[in-house]
Amino acid sequence: MLLDIDFFTQDVLPALNQGLLVTLALIIPAGVIGFIGGIVLGCARAFGGPVLRGFGNAYTTTLRGVPLAVQLMMIYYALPKIGIYFDAYGAALLSFILCSAAYHSEYVRGALLSIRQGQIRAAQALGMTTFQTILWIVVPQAARRALPGCGNEIVYLIKYSSLAYLVTCMELMGEGKVVASDTFRFTEVFMAVGAYYLVLVTLATWLLHWLERRTYIPGFGAR
Amino acid sequence: MTEDVLQVSHISKQLGGKPILQDCSFTVKRGELKVLIGPSGAGKSTLLQCINCLIPPDSGDIWLEGTKLDRANKAHLCAFRAQVGMIFQDFNLFDHLTAEENVAIALRKVRGMSRKDAADRALEELGRVGLARRSQLYPAQLSGGQKQRVAMARALAMDPKVILLDEPTSALDPELVGEVLAVIRDLAQNGMTMIMATHQMDFARALAHEILFMERGKIIEQGAPDVLLAEGCNTRTRDFCCRLLEMGA
């Protein structure tokens, strides 16, 4: 018996579909808010004063330096000790947002620094404030430059969202693990889980390519 | 013709301990075209950028129509810059915006015009520099001369009291220089007040009301072109121009 169809249709797929919904509920807000957070953080690190820059750098160093699994444990198990409580889903979502903002900020910072100084001077010569210059001239260009890198981060996010099961948030990985433990059919279950992630990542890649084409402007790299 | 538009008094600037500008002063009257010439590194570009504080001067004052620029006051500085047009050697168009949007963006964000009014005005200005049909193209799709003309339209749309031109034709192919100079000539003949750094001596001679010759951060000679460039007169300006001509020949 190589492929047990009934096992998949009755045990694996219903559980994984359930988990898929939770995974989507994690990665979509974490992707969007994390990206916006990354832009803000990247701007602060590229253009902020010494204090803002120092804070941004320290934040990024910490969040990139500590394994995400550890951060997740801290948010779920350590924060309650100082009176801050999150449910499993909230803890996972928060840690993904914080972590992906740190990674995004690095791509964004690189993109911001690649904008020619001359355009910034031109904007200021027209009477724009520093904030207007950043908002209307620098960010729209930097976002396009950062898109491939940030897309990479989104792909990572989809896969590291599987860590949420560590704090009992029952997403794809968590559901898969339960079915596998109950049935001892690890190979089939985790191959199915892997296939789900592969599909998610493929869809995300298409979406990102579409976004790149959609925001394409002549002179901003090849189509 | 006699009203002072811009007054630059005793501007000095040091960079890395080296004096770049030393005590530069001059006054520009309405409708006047002043041309800055001098060897590379003389400080022409720095002087122009000090006027609208893109490079903040160490000392000295700038007056626009009798009002002293308060550099510490950000709002005042932005309002001042909005009235002083600037044209750069390398155009500095906004790469993510079409020609029309390049002109319109400051009208909307700085002047607070509606999207529609700003677009109308942008088209009008692009028409004035002969680019109405290219309004929907991005900078990467324009030639150097066209880019510089869009930059001119962008500056003109703000109704500047004075325009600073920092070697506007130096980054252009020789064939494209003419179209940009034509726009500047047109402006000069219509009474636009301008200060222009350039190496285009024929142009300076034909149109400038006054030439400022700079060397090592100082304005060392100042006067009408036919005085400074007169046959047989022994000025540094004439000497420099003769050498430019020899190189061209």
A97-135: pLDDT as tens digits: 999 999 999 999 999 888 888 999 999 999 999 999 999
- The answer, for B76 touching chain A at a CB cutoff of 8 Å, is no
- The answer, for A83 touching chain B at a CB cutoff of 8 Å, is no
CB contact under 8 A, B106 and A141: no
Residue A6: what pLDDT? 83
CB-CB neighbours of B17 under 10 Å: 5
CB contact under 8 A, B82 and A122: no
The percent of residues above 70 in pLDDT, for chain B, comes to 98
**Dist. CA A101–CA A34, nearest whole Å:** 4
- The answer, for A128 touching chain B at a CB cutoff of 8 Å, is yes
* Max Cα-Cα span within chain A: 75
Contacts of A132 in chain B (CB under 8 A): 109-110
Q: What is the mean pLDDT of residues A8-28?
A: 90
Q: Give residue-wise pLDDT tens across range A42-92.
A: 999 988 889 999 999 999 999 999 999 999 999 999 999 999 999 999 999
CB contact under 8 A, A121 and B96: no
Residue in chain A closest to B151 (alpha carbons) equals: A122
- Cβ–Cβ < 8 Å for B183, B164: no
* Max Cα-Cα span within chain B: 57
Residue A2: what pLDDT? 63
CB contact under 8 A, A128 and B84: no
Length of chain B: 249
Structure tokens of B132?
């109405």
Helix (H) or strand (E) holding B222: strand B218-223
CB contact under 8 A, A217 and B96: yes
Residue B54: what pLDDT? 92
- The answer, for B93 touching chain A at a CB cutoff of 8 Å, is yes
Torsion of CA A68, A71, A73, A76, to 10 degrees: -120
**Dist. CA B192–CA B158, nearest whole Å:** 13
Residue A48: what pLDDT? 85
Residue whose tokens read 């219903």: A14
A83-110 burial code (b ≥16 CB/10 A, e <16): eeebebbebbbbbbbbbbbbbbbbbbbe
Q: What angle do CA B157, B161, B166 make, to 5 degrees?
A: 80
Residue whose tokens read 């790149």: A212
Name the residue type at position A192: A
Contacts of A118 in chain B (CB under 8 A): 88, 90-92
**A7 or B119, which is more confident:** B119
Q: Which A residues 48-67 touch B at CB under 8 Å?
A: none
CB contact under 8 A, A125 and B78: no
Residue in chain B closest to A141 (alpha carbons) equals: B96
B47-59 burial code (b ≥16 CB/10 A, e <16): bbbbbbbbbebee
Residue A222: what pLDDT? 47
- Nearest CA to B210 out of B32, B43, B22 is that of B32
- Cβ–Cβ < 8 Å for B179, B149: yes
The lowest-confidence range among A61-65, A91-95, A141-145, B77-81 is A141-145
Residue B80 Cα to chain centre, angstroms: 15
The interface predicted TM-score of the complex, written ipTM, equals 0.89
Instruction: Characterize the bridge pairing of strands B33-37 and B194-197.
Output: parallel
Tell whether the model's pLDDT for residue A221 goes beyond 50: yes
Residue B2: what pLDDT? 65
- The answer, for B52 touching chain A at a CB cutoff of 8 Å, is yes
CB contact under 8 A, B82 and A127: yes
Positive or negative CA dihedral for B14, A123, A137, B135?
Answer: negative
Residue B1: what pLDDT? 47
Cα A177 to Cα A167, A188, B133, distances in angstroms: 13, 11, 63
CB contact under 8 A, B81 and A124: yes
Residue in chain B closest to A122 (alpha carbons) equals: B92
Cα A168 to Cα A12, A30, A80, distances in angstroms: 19, 18, 16
**B49 or B242, which is more confident:** B49
CB contact under 8 A, A119 and B95: yes
Mean pLDDT of chain A: 91
- Cβ–Cβ < 8 Å for B180, B149: yes
